[in-house]
């Protein structure tokens, strides 16, 4: 049998009661556990229906009013500014990054 690590246990948190087998096999206990399972499944089905409704309502709006192009342009301009700053810093004779890279490459000569 495989050993469960901590992340496996964390992934199952909330499902433990649903998955665990009842300790006693009395009929009343089985009915109670079955009721708990049914309640859990009903609540989960309601949650999934709400998510489905949110996606159904929001996706057409997102497709119609996409901000993808705007965000992409912002990111491209930010990247170019950061590249320019990096190259300016690197081109200075006494910059820390240049000195560190020189030392690093000198080690491999």
What are 67-90's pLDDT values in tens digits? 888 889 999 999 999 999 988 888
What are 26-38's pLDDT values in tens digits? 555 666 667 778 8
Closest CA to 18 of 42, 7, 34, 4: 34
Which pLDDT band, with edges at 50, 70 and 90, does 1 fall under?
very low
Q: Are 40 and 18 in contact (CB under 8 A)?
A: yes
Residue predicted with more confidence, 84 or 63: 84
**Average confidence (pLDDT) over 11-17:** 61
Q: Are 17 and 36 in contact (CB under 8 A)?
A: yes
**What pLDDT score was predicted for residue 81?**
95
In this predicted structure, the answer to whether residue 105 has a pLDDT above a threshold of 50 is yes
């Amino acid at each position: 049998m495989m050993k469960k690590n901590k992340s496996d246990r964390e992934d199952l948190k909330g499902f433990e009661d649903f998955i665990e087998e009842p300790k006693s096999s009395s009929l009343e206990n089985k009915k109670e556990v079955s009721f708990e399972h049914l309640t859990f499944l009903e609540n989960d089905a309601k949650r999934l229906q709400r998510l489905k409704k949110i996606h159904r309502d929001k996706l057409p709006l997102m497709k119609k009013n996409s901000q993808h192009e705007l965000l992409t342009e912002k990111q491209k301009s930010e990247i170019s500014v950061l590249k320019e700053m990096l190259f300016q810093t690197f081109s200075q004779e006494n910059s820390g990054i240049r000195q560190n890279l020189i030392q690093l490459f000198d080690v491999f000569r």
